[in-house]
Each structure stands twice: as structure tokens, then as C-alpha cells.
Structure 1
Amino acid sequence: MTRRLRPTVVRLARRLWPGSVRARATLGATAVVALALTAASFALLGTLHANLQRSAKEAATEQADTVGRLAAQGRLPDLLPVAPGADFIQVVDADGRVVAASQNLTGRPPIGHLRPDEGALRATWSGEPFHDEHRQRIVAVTATTPGSSTVTVYAGTSLRDADQADEITSVALGIGAPLLLATVALVTWWVTGRALRPVEAIRSEVAEITGHALHRRVPVPDSRDEVARLARTMNVTLDRLEDAVVRQRRFIADASHELRSPITVLRTQLEVALAHPDPELWPDLVSEVLEDTIRLQDLAADLLFLARLDAAEPVESGPLDLADLCRTTLAARHGDRIRIDARLEEGVTIEGNRSRLTRLLTNLLDNAQRHAGQHIELAVHTDRAAHTAVLEVSDDGPGIPDADRDRIFERFTRLDDARSRDLGGAGLGLAIARDIAGHHHGTLTAEPHPHGARIVTRLPLSPQAPEVP
């Protein structure tokens, strides 16, 4: 039976639990204040009651001690005066007879039978000797008279003030606590609503943003709180998203255009071969078809590599000697149009993926081979101030205009479209190289050069690299 009830109770609790942040915040704040107020009320009532009880006990004790000293000295009058703070006094002998009393107890029987234990000075208890609506705090003190008889002095103080204080405090808390809780709930509801109003505006705006309306931005409230920072972060994210979508659409359009050109050429060549089945023309035709097929294959490989870079797939990384990587890459190159002069500083160690950094260097060298006149230079050195490794590839070609130094790293960008197409460039080499540098927390820039182009890669040195003297 218990197992069956448990899921039902859980479902009921989930239904009753408020769904909005505003309601949960209000409920939580009210509950916390209610618990704190309850604890404070009990503490206040307990402290007040204890203080009043202690005051009544002290007043009764002082009166009983005073009368006990009078009894011990044999100066006990029949009518006992009542000091301020005490309500009544009564002295009873060992036989239970009233020896002396205050005026308000004259003619009354003994008010109590409780006496201090043997060897004790006094006893204290609460009672209602007058059958009054208020209790009394009674102190009993034993004294020995000069005649060696033992008498018990009873002094009492009414707890009327303590009872009235408890009652007034309880009524005040009973009325004030609900009003305070209601005020807390209303204030929390109002403050939470004002705080969440910008969040609702952000939510509404984000709900309206679609793939065709990425230019829209969420409103930023005029404040310096977390909501304003959230709105600014959301707008920065939307900026990046819009930029990524624009780049993706441009990339798809450019890729479609670039793929369509070699495919169209291949189709034309094959149609010519079918229209003119002359075996003497086939070697030249097959050579052209093979050249376009290789170009199409390279383009597809570049597009796949860019897609992997965009997906940020994890790759193996480790310390690499940049000079050794350059020597290995140069040794593997055959048939370059222009000889490459290398100036490599030893001991330049970076963290990275060897395959991708080899691809970066290969793309830079291929770009230089396409545009250089008679000279290409590869240099590796260390920037001591920035604690970075610097890889430079420069050539004596036509150079790069100042206005195009950043544009050449965009995908499918050719400064001379016809010339680049003839030389086999698709406009992806430098874009891939910059993305590889970015994935290695580095930069790739085109910098001024007096006699051509100069492409500079800067990569952070490995933490394991020795300090540069």
C-alpha cells in the first residue's frame, strides 16, 4: 500500500509545486521568512517569559530572606509588611500553624505544605494559593527562631505581569506575523516580476528570431545586473550565429559554383569524346579530363577539410620542433617551380598537430609558388617579447594590396580570378591555413613586404620549450 501511495504523492507534489520562477521565488522567500519568524517568536516568548519568571522569583526570594532573618532574630511581627515586588508573606511553624502573615493572608490557612529539604536553604514552585486566574511564584525559606523552633517563610509574587505579557505578545505575533508574511510575499512577487520583465522581453524576442531574421537582437535593459549581462551575451552569440550562417550560405554558394565549373568542363569533354570518337584525339582528351578530375578531387578534399575544421573535431596534439617540421616538409616537395631558401632557428618548440601544421605550411608554400617571380624565402624564429614562434613565407611576386590583406584569407577569394584559376588555385588554401592557425591559438596575417608578399604565422611557444636567452 505504501509503495502505491508514494508515486501518487510525488505526482501530486509536482502538480502543486509552482512552475514559474516568480511563484517559486515568492513561495521560497515567504517560507524562509515564516520559518525565521516562527523561530524568532518562540525565542522572544521564551526569553520574555524566563525574564519575568526570574524577576518574580528574585522579588519573592528577597522578601522571604528578609522575613527569615527577622524570624531568626526573634523580631517577627504578627502582621508582616509586603515589600515592593512581592504580593504576600506567610510564616508557618513546624506544626502547620500560621505564626505571621501579610494583611492579605490574615485568617487564611497555610498556603502550602512544600518545605525545603533538610539542609537546603529554600524551595521554589508555582501555584495558585488564592484560586486566582494568575499563577504565583512562591519561595519557601526555613528559619530557626531563638527558641530553637523551626518556621517556614512563604513569600509569593503574582505572575500576572508574565501571563499578560505572554498573552499580549502572542496576540501581537498572531496578528503581525501574517501581515508581515503577506507583505514579504507581495514585495517578493513585485520585485521578482520587475526583475524578470527584461527576461520575458528577451524570451519573446528570441522566440521571434528565425533563420530568416537573424539580424534581430534582444533588448538590453538599462542596468548593470545579471540580466543586462545576459542580454549582451545573447546579442554577441546572435552576432556569431548570424556571421556563421552568412559564412555557411556564402560557402555553400561558392562551393556549388566551384564544383559546377569542373563538372561542366568534364561533361563537355566527355560529350566531345562521344561526338568525335577519333582514337588520335583520346590521349589529349583523357589528359585534360584527368587534370580536371584531379582539380575536382582536390577541391572536394579541401571542402571536406574545411568542414572538419568548422566542426572543431579533436585531434592529437603534442610538442613539435618547428624547424624540423619545415625541413621535413621541404624535403617532401618535388617539382617546385622555384627553389625555396630556408632560414630556420633551432629549438623553436610549439604545441600542435603535426599533420595540420604541415598542411598550413604546404598551403603557404603552394601560394608562394603560384605567385612568386624568382625567389621564395621560408623563415622560422622566436619573438621573445610575445613568447611566440614566428613562421614567415615571403616571395617576390606582385604583392598584396593593402586593402586586400585581410580579404585574401576569405574562402574562395582570388585577387586575380582568371590567373588563379589557370594556376590551379581555388581560393581555399589561405583560408584553410588561417583556420589551422586559429585552432592552434595562433594568427595568420599578411604583412608589408618591399618586394612582394609576406605571410606571417604566429603560434604560442610550448610550455615545455626552454627559455630563450
Structure 2
Amino acid sequence: MSSRASRGRRPFPRSIRARFSLAVGALFLVVLTAVGALTVSGIRHSVAAEVFEDQHLAIVDWVSRMRPGYIPVPRPGKSTGHVRYLQLVDSQGRVVVSNFAASGRAALTTVKPVPGDGMQDLTVCPTWRTDACLLVTALLLDPQLPDAPLKDGPHYIYAGAVQPVVLAKPYMEAGFGAAVLVASAVAAWGTRVVVDRTLRPVRAISTRMREATAKDLSMRVPTPLHDDEIAEFAHASNSYLDRLEKAVKARHRFASLASHELRSPVTALRTQLEEALMYPEDVDAGSALRNALHSTERLEAIIDDLLAYTRVKDAPLEAYHELDLVSLAEEELAALPPDGVPIRLRAASRPRVLGSRVQLGRVLNNLLANGRRHARTYVHVTVEQVGGQAVLTVRDDGAGIVPEDRERVFDAFVRLPEGRRLDPGGSGLGLAISRETCRAHGGSLTVEDCPRGARFVLRLPALPAQGSTGRPAGRAR
């Protein structure tokens, strides 16, 4: 059985409102049932105790009026309360003396207390009383006592009262049970109403989120006026929709720019091939093939840069390793062609960073090649550690970048006039890839002020020092 089928057959409702209502109703039912049972038990015990207390007083009052050889007839009094039957019974079970209500009746019970038992309380259901049971208290009149009224054997006093309705019938249990059910139902209904009102903004947010599609990401969810978790959820949803809208627009813009950049070499290649086919006598075949190969190489370079750019933005990062930023810069300097503007490396310290050697090497190679391309006489590279950051600066003495273009140069396919002039075959993705790589490593890449030329500053989180300040490094190329 699939997990989806299992979820579909489970007895629990999916609605939070229903689950909370059932949970609160069940909790009230359990708690109120326990409270009701304790209350009913306490009331029953209290009523029975009151009746037995009246019977004890009635027996004491009757015994206090007895004298040796003299047994008065029991009479009702204020102390008798609920007591209805009073009997004096001999050891054979014969009634010797009784009050008017018990006259002609058999003994209330056959229970015969023994010396030391005191008064015994019990419930009996005599055959001559079919409509109700009796609460009976029994007491032994010991003939061995000096003031015993009767010396011819043990006698027993029985006091009885009709069992109160609250004890005889389950009316109280039924009433408490009905009250518990009603209270539980009211609690469940109240919880449903409260949860429904609480979740109303959530349903509005869910409805609006379902309406938001890739074609219309301008929708925003309603924000409650009160400041609580639901309002926080609404703000988070709107923030997510903002980021989603920006991401989708950036994707669309990137796709449009990529299509535009790819169209130029494809159009040139098509034109060259069509000319060679349509005018075979006027077009030199070797020249046409060389031009087509150049357009193909241009197309291949753009596609490679596109793949690298999307890989850095979307693909999971490869394993990072501890790197010496100065050593990495020295390796990239050594890999550059020996001709061209000289590059001077100066390291005030040797900061270590955590990252990908291949990705960070490509960033450094791009910055060094870009600086050499735009420089007139020199390129200066400095490496230092400022606080908890490793800082690498590449500065050239070229034309520089005006402040309003210092962020645009990191956008995909953006190429300034100077860059197009110096590198006509570039794709405009090098700096965009470099910045995304730095961000993926927790750092940044910016263009900052410089008296002359351009100054690119790379910042990466530096690893803690290993107890050595490192040796200063310097290299010119």
C-alpha cells in the first residue's frame, strides 16, 4: 500500500480546525468526566454520611434512655432526622421493641455485630420494601456491660432510613454526564470558532499564493493589522514573492540577453555559409571556412561562459579546501603569457581562505587578464588581511570605470565601450561569473575608488591564523 493511500485512509481529519476541535472536546470530556465522577462520589458519600450520622444519634438517644430492665419505646425527635425505623432485636432475630413505622416488620437486617465492632453502617434491601433499599446502622447491646438494660442474652439495635433518591437512582450521574457532554461540545465548538477566525488570514494568504503564477508574480498576500505569527508569515510570504519576482525577471532578462548574444555569431555564420553556397565563384572557399570557424569559436566561447555562469549560480558547490591566497595568486601569475603589461604582486601577509581552487583561480585569472588588457604601463596586485577578511586588490592605470558603471560591469553581457574595443570577442560574462563565485564563497567583488585607472577589490572570509604571521611575498611579471 502506498504512503499516499495510507494517508488517505487514516481516521484523523486533515483540517487543523477539526483536529483542534476534536482534541479540545476530547480533553474536556476526559477532564470533566473525571471531575464529575469525583463530584458524584463526594456527593453520594456526603449524603450517606449525613443519613448514617442521624441514625447514630437516634441510636445513642434511645440507648441513653434505657435502664436495666427498662426499654422505652423509641420516639421521634429532632436528633432522628432521616431515621424512619428503629428496632430492638434479640439474638433469635425477633423484634422486641420498635417504633410505630417498624411495628409488624421483620428485622431490618440479619447482620449481628460482635463485641468491639461498634456501630456498623450498611445498605440492605428487605423483601418487604420493594420500592427502595434502606440505609441501616446496627449496634450490639452487650449483656456483660454493668448498665446493660437486658441481661438475658445479646440484643441488637437497628436504625434504618429509606435510601435517598440521590443514592437510589442514577439521576445525578445522568445529569452530570449530560452536563459533561454539553460542556465538551461547547468547548469543541468554541475552539472551532476561535481556530477558524485565527486561520482566516492564513486561508486568504494561501488563496493569494495559489493565484500567484509565473505569468503574474506581482500579487502580494494580505497582511493582518495585528503583529503576531500570522503577520510574520504574511511578511515572509511577501518577501518570498518579492525575491521570486526578481529571480524570474532576472531569468527572463538573462534568457533575452543570452539569445541576443548568441544571435550575432549564429547570424554571421549563416551569412558566411549562404554566401559561399550562393556565390561559389566569387567567394574564396578557404576564407569562407576560416570566417565560419571564427564565428563557431566565438559561439563556442559564449556557450562555455553561459554554462560556467549558470553552474556557479545554480549548481551545488564542490568541496572547499584551505587555500593560501598569495600562493594562488602566484600560480595564476605564472600561468599568464610572459608578454604584455608587467604585473606586480605585493603581499603584506599570507591570509588563508576556504574555497575551490579551480573557481577562485578562474576569478583571479579573470581579474589579472582584465587588468592587463586595460592597463597602459602596470598592474599592481596586493594581498593583505584586514580584520577577519582576506583582501586582494587588482589595480591598473587604464581609463578606469566611471562610478555609474561600477555595478553595471558585473551584470551578465554588459560590456562597456572600452571593453568592446579592447576585446571584441568577449562575451561580457567574465566579471558576472567572478562576482557570483565570490558570493558563493561568502565574499564580495567590487570596484572601488582609485586616483587613476580601475581598482577591483576581492574580499573573502579569512581563516584564523595558525600562530605564524607568514612571510611577505612579492613578485613581478
TM-score category, normalised to shorter length: 0.7 to 0.9
Equivalence map 1:72-111=2 (5 Å) = 77-79=72-74, 83-85=79-81, 87=83, 88-102=85-99, 104-106=101-103, 108-111=105-108
- The CA deviation at 1:303 is 0.5
Q: How far apart are 1:231 and its partner, in Å? A: 2.2
Counterpart in 2 of 1:140? 138
Q: 2: distance between equivalents of 1:67 and 1:324?
A: 115
The residue type equivalent to 2:36 in the other structure is S
Q: Which residue of the partner structure matches residue 466 of structure 1?
A: 466
State the 1:392 CA deviation. Answer: 2.0
Aligned-partner residue type, residue 180 of structure 1: A
Instruction: Mark the runs of 5 or more structure 1 residues left unpaired by the alignment.
Output: 1-5
Provide the secondary structure at the position in 2 that maps to 1:253.
helix
Task: Give the TM-score normalised by structure 1.
Answer: 0.82
Secondary structure of the corresponding residue to residue 384 of structure 2: strand
Is the aligned partner of 1:318 residue 2:321? yes
Is 1:220 matched with 2:193?
Answer: no
Q: 1:57 to 1:382 in 2, by over 3 A?
A: farther
The answer on whether the counterparts of 2:115 and 2:142 sit within 8 Å (CA) in structure 1 is no
**Higher helix proportion, which one?**
1
| 1-structure distance, mates of 2:366, 2:68 | 119
Relative contact order (C-alpha < 8 Å, sep 6+): which is higher?
2
CA distance in 1, matches of 2:33, 2:467: 66
Which position in structure 1 is the counterpart of 2:353?
A: 350
CA distance in 2, matches of 1:95, 1:437: 110
Whether the 8 Å CA contact 2:201–2:224 is kept in 1: the answer is yes
- Among candidates 374, 377, 393, match of residue 374 of structure 1: 377
RMSD: 3.8
Distance 1:281 1:185, change over 3 A: closer
Q: Kindly report which structure 2 residues correspond to 1:160-309, keeping only aligned pairs within 5 A, or say none.
A: 160=164, 162-163=166-167, 167-168=171-172, 170-171=174-175, 173-174=177-178, 176-269=179-272, 275=279, 282=286, 291-309=294-312
Aligned residues: 456
Report the CA distance between 1:431 and its aligned residue. Answer: 1.0
- Cα deviation digits, residues 404-441 of structure 1 (max 9, x gap): 22222111112326635635432211111111111112
Q: Which amino acid aligns with 1:109?
A: A
Q: CA 1:402 to 1:269, structure 2 compared with 1: closer, same or farther past 3 Å?
A: same
Alignment partner of 2:241: what SS? helix
Task: Please name the residue that 2:156 is paired with.
Answer: 152
Q: Give the structure 2 partner of residue 47 of structure 1.
A: 42
The one-character-per-residue Cα deviations of 1:315-344 (angstroms, maximum 9, x if unpaired) are 111222222222222222224622222122
Q: Report the Cα distance in structure 2 between the residues aligned to 1:69 and 1:341, rounded to whole angstroms.
A: 125
The answer (yes or no) to whether the contact 1:34–1:181 under 8 Å persists in 2 is yes
Tell me, which stretches of 5 or more residues in structure 2 are unaligned?
470-477
Determine if contact 1:91/1:153 at 8 Å carries over to the other structure. Answer: yes
Q: One-letter code of the match for 1:214?
A: L
Equivalent in the alignment of 2:402: 401
Q: How does 1:403-442 map to 2 (within 5 A)?
A: 403-416=404-417, 419-420=420-421, 422-442=423-443
The answer for the alignment partner of 1:3 in structure 2 is none
* Most deviating of 254-263 and 272-281: 272-281
Q: Separation in 2 of the partners of 1:75 and 1:364? A: 128
**In percent, how many aligned pairs have the same letter?**
34
Q: Is 1:389 the counterpart of 2:386 in the alignment?
A: no
Mapped contact 1:134–1:163 kept (Cα < 8 A) = no
